Amino acid sequence: MKKVVVFSLVLLVGAAFSFGAVASEGGEVIKQATAASTSFFAVTVAAAGLSIAIAAAFCGLAQGRAIDKAMEALARQPEVSGDLRTNLIIGLAFIESLAIYALLISIILLMANPFAKYFVQ
């Protein structure tokens, strides 16, 4: 419980100090904002968050299923544990790379959106 309180206080203090930095540049952006640009960036943020959520959920399910099947195979034939471990680690790395690709695409959408020039004049 104590760690949760300390972590919450650290987040609160960090947020309090970051508002000044955001507000200093926010005035110019708000003056240039239009309805199309505001909705475009809202949809972009929603799409980035949704893509990470879906990728994490399905990668977690796939990794759990892979580990489940590997443990079943190991229980049936313990003598293949070396080959099974190698193949499992390679398979888990491929599954995890899909989540990392989704993260990279979301970061590109949020930080350097290539379509922003069409919505912001």
The parent domain of residue 74 ranges over 36-121
CB 59 within 8 A of CB 99: yes
Q: What is the pTM of this model?
A: 0.64
In a domain, 54, yes or no: yes
What is the pLDDT, as a whole number, of residue 76? 93
Q: What is the CATH number of the domain that holds 75?
A: 1.20.20.10
Total number of domains in the chain: 1
Structure confidence by residue, pLDDT tens digits, 86-112: 999 999 999 999 999 999 999 988 888
Residue 71 has pLDDT above 70, yes or no: yes
63 contact partners, CB below 8 Å, separation of at least 6: 92, 95, 96
In a domain, 112, yes or no: yes
Structure confidence by residue, pLDDT tens digits, 20-63: 544 555 555 556 667 667 788 888 888 899 999 999 999 999 99
In a domain, 8, yes or no: no
